[in-house]
Chains A and B, each alone.
Chain A
Amino acid sequence: MNQTVTIRRLATGVPGLDAILGGGLPELSFNLITGPPGSGKTTLAHQIMFALATPEHPALFLTVLGEPPLKMLRYQQQFSFFDNSRIGAAVRFVNLSDEMASGDFEQMLARITREIQIASPALVFVDSFRAVTRDAARSGAHSLDLQHFVQQLGVQLSAWQATTFLIGEYHSQTEDHPVFTVADGLLALRQSVHRNSMVRQIQVLKMRGQATSPGVHTFRITGAGIEIFPSAIVRDDSGATAHTSASPARDGHRMGMGVPLLDDMLGGGLPSGFSLLVAGPSGSGKTLLATAFLAEGVRSGEPGVMVAFEQTPSQSLNSAIDDMVRAGAIGLINTRSLDLSIDEIVHHLIGMIRRMKAKRVVIDSLSGFELAVAPTFREDFRESLFRMVAALSSLGVTVLVTSELEDRYTDLRFSPYGSAFLTDAIVVQRYIEIDSGLTRVMAVVKVRDSAHSSEIRQFAITGGHIVIGDPVRGYEGLLGGSPQHAPYGPRGADDRAAGPMP
């Protein structure tokens, strides 16, 4: 017979929170929610409370000296989770500011105990802990000192057979307090302000008895409350970390690119599950190539999702994309926000991939992506890209990423982020000068573990389509931008094929 206690995990009702907690909030746990003013502590507590409280398992929300209760009720009511009809039977607010003003913490503890005995709540919230400790410190000698009071409160909250929360402006990472030891769970909220953008972040610093998702996760507060975007390490339903290496799921299938001859150049199409970087200067046709890739997917019964960052409000998406989106054939995430986290984008993207059962994903472009990401995350942009590619890879989708690449004829680069190594295949587009005119050329630089063409082919954009022409022959120094006629004439066609690139 199994003698161990089974801890029930409560669904918090906060999107993303259960995932980072490692499967939900342990029932009867004693938790701290800490963070600076305005970081969303009370909102988080209320959202959890309204998700869990029922007349059979009521919640008691004790307000101390933090936010005045009238203001709290006024603003919290703006969230859709705040349900007036449940106040009374399922949710009870009690204000303790009068006890607090008296400065007698023994009396306050007695009042808290009395309220809990009356209500027999399944959930208890004390807002705010910081106010309790600060006032205790200010008032000096008491029959019950600060440390003793907090410990008593913690112990009593733990023993009341209720899931309990202390909310406070406590700097959990810089301050030391005995209550941190008593607590089973510690949720730290913070706001990171960088230049003109603000990013909200949450970290589970402690949660006894279960494996939490490490690291800092971003969240947003909208009219629906808090939504957390777990850091972009994809976990499967069992909670085990899924496959985070960048190696794609290979099934031997090759995907058509929707551009005649490009499939041949890639050695028979893009291997399924691969990530392809299309790098080129502005106007070279990267978005058109991406559009053709998605359109070919629609023709082949492989739905796609496009993440667009490039369009300004005055520009509409190209009509082909627009038509496919309107027809519901592809999904579109178009964002011009400048305070996104990569995790948030990946969260939306993965949600859409699952909904659409998408096989193809286009990210257009890395340059726009970098601009859209909050400055806080730009330092880690490359690392975040790696996590994103890994996350998408683990879903088995085939990804095409465009990258704006300034034409530099003194060096050969494929991406401004040194991220070319992240992708399995690379197609580069460039402008070259031939006979005093600009000509577009395209080449396949890399297809991992696969033979591909090494030709540099001219291409044109005709009627909104990419038309690949002949290889550029009889010239040398093409990638230098100013090719010269080769002194020995055109090369033969017999040495075009290259071996697989490692």
Chain B
Amino acid sequence: MTDSGDDARRLALRKMLARSVAAGSDAAVLACAFFGLWQQTAGQLEPVIGARGVDVLFSRALHLTSRRFPWLPSAADGNNVAPLEVLQTCLAGRSAAEARDAGEMLLLTFTGLLAGMVGQSLTARMLGASWTVCDIHASSKEPVAAQSTST
């Protein structure tokens, strides 16, 4: 995973958030915005990797993010993803700074996991135009990891 891909997605996410919420918005507004961004991102990916594929990545992202933000709802186990509503309520109950940091980290961890699986270039393509506002396309595909080429 290259840092440039992560940085570009961070920038794109902040731009998307800035379009959705005014500066100085409270946690409830931010939680609502993250909820919308999450739905948009999941909607973009589900046709390709399926709802279950999205859920599994989300569970893992939530688990990793909760190490830094232990107050986030737990994913219980791999099969039962915490409902987005619960997450939204949880974010809304924190300070604006906490809600922003946790929401941002969760989405970036999620997209980072996706990039780790299928590479930055394909991730950019799968996430769609809103995430590529900063041109996070790599011009050519990059190796996702050292792998055998047999199936």
Contacts and interface: CB of A to CB of B under 8 A. Distances in A.
Interface of A: 38-43, 63, 68-71, 73-75, 77-79, 82-84, 87-88, 93-98, 101, 221-223
Interface string B85-97: 0000000000000
Q: Which 5 A-B pairs have the closest CB atoms?
A: A95-B50, A97-B50, A69-B49, A73-B118, A84-B121
A70 B46 CA distance: 11
Contact of B48 (A42, A75, A83, A95): A95
12 contacts: A38-B151, A63-B50, A69-B49, A74-B118, A77-B144, A78-B143, A82-B141, A84-B119, A84-B122, A95-B48, A95-B49, A98-B52
Interface centre among A69, A75, A78, A101 (most CB of B within 10 A): A78
A95 B151 contact: no
B151 to A, nearest CB: 5
B84 interface: no
B70 interface: no
A101 B147 CA distance: 30
B150 interface: yes
B122 A77 contact: yes
Contacts of A70: 49, 53, 57, 114, 117-118
B21 interface: no
Contact of B149 (A71, A78, A84, A98): A78
A78 B47 contact: no
B125 A69 contact: no
A77 B141 contact: yes
Contacts of A40: 150-151
A84 B141 contact: yes
B18 interface: no
A190 to B, nearest CB: 13
A43 B122 contact: no
Contacts of A97: 50-53
Contacts of B47: 93-95
Given A94-B47, A95-B50, 7 more contacts: A40-B150, A69-B48, A78-B147, A78-B149, A87-B122, A88-B125, A223-B149
A75 B151 contact: yes
B12 to A, nearest CB: 18
A70 B55 CA distance: 12
A223 B147 CA distance: 10
Interface string B73-106: 0000000000000000000000000000000000
A38 B114 CA distance: 24
A63 B48 CA distance: 8
A40 B121 CA distance: 25
Interface centre among A39, A73, A83, A94 (most CB of B within 10 A): A73
A97 B114 CA distance: 19
Contacts of A101: 52
Interface centre among B49, B122, B141 (most CB of A within 10 A): B49
A123 to B, nearest CB: 17
B4 to A, nearest CB: 16
A98 B51 contact: yes
A78 B151 CA distance: 10
B15 to A, nearest CB: 22
A114 to B, nearest CB: 12
Contacts of B144: 74, 77-78
A206 to B, nearest CB: 23
A472 B146 CA distance: 63
B121 A221 contact: no
Nearest to A221: B150
Contacts of A93: 47-48
Given A69-B48, A70-B49, A79 B149 contact: yes
A221 B117 contact: no
Contacts of B125: 84, 87-88
A42 B151 contact: yes
B44 to A, nearest CB: 12
A42 B149 CA distance: 12
Nearest to B48: A93
A88 B125 CA distance: 8
